[in-house]
Structure 1
Amino acid sequence: MKIRLAMYEALKAINVPEPKIESVIQAMETALHPSPAFKPDSDMTQFRATLSQLEVSLTMNIGVMLFLAVAILFAAVAFIH
């Protein structure tokens, strides 16, 4: 709201007609605050894709570590007997 008032006062100070002031303010608000319905958030999509890749990578790493731990345990048991 403060930005809208400041823009109005600045445009009024340079003698812009009233109807044009409103048009300029609406255009600026639209440009500054685009609707999420019209513009998909590509950063969020990229973040989710990266997060998904990380999840797969972590799952694979945990699986490999678990397999190695069990293999070492079986080798230790076989070596002791």
Structure 2
Amino acid sequence: MKSSFALYQALIAINVPDDKATAVIDALESDMQNQLATKADLADIKAELAQLELKLTIRMGVMLSAAVGILLAAMKFMH
């Protein structure tokens, strides 16, 4: 990686021992591979959010229909 080499050179420039600089680079690369989201991860999350949005819209529609039905039934019984 270009950024890894640049970081390695920066660490060497401030007199960090070679083995310590290499350890920092290895730790950084390991964390980047294990903890950062990839584009594929973000696409999966976007798809899941779209499904949840659809479910929420359907539930809200059902609740609104039920509320209107209850309101109409209550109005009919009052008259």
TM-score using structure 2 length? 0.58
Structure number having the greater helix percentage: 2
Q: CA deviation at 1:7?
A: 5.9
Which residue in the other structure is 1:3 paired with?
7
Number of residue pairs the alignment of both structures matches: 59
Which residue in the other structure is 1:49 paired with?
47
TM-score using structure 1 length? 0.57
Cα separation, partners in 2 of 1:46 and 1:72, compared to 1, 3 Å = same
Aligned mates of 1:7, 1:58 — CA distance in 2: 54
After superposition, residues 1-81 of structure 1 pair within 5 angstroms as 3-5=7-9, 6=11, 10=18, 32=29, 41-81=39-79
| Identity level (%) | 36
What amino acid does structure 1 have at the position aligned with 2:56? L
Between Structure 1 and Structure 2, whose CA radius of gyration is higher? Answer: 1
Aligned mates of 1:7, 1:69 — CA distance in 2: 69
Which residue in the other structure is 2:22 paired with?
none
Unmatched tracts of structure 1, length 5 or more: 12-27, 34-39
Aligned mates of 2:61, 2:75 — CA distance in 1: 21
Kindly report the root-mean-square deviation, in angstroms, between the aligned alpha carbons of the 2 structures. Answer: 3.3
Unmatched tracts of structure 2, length 5 or more: 20-24, 33-37
Q: CA deviation at 1:76?
A: 0.3
Deviation >3 Å, runs of 4+: none
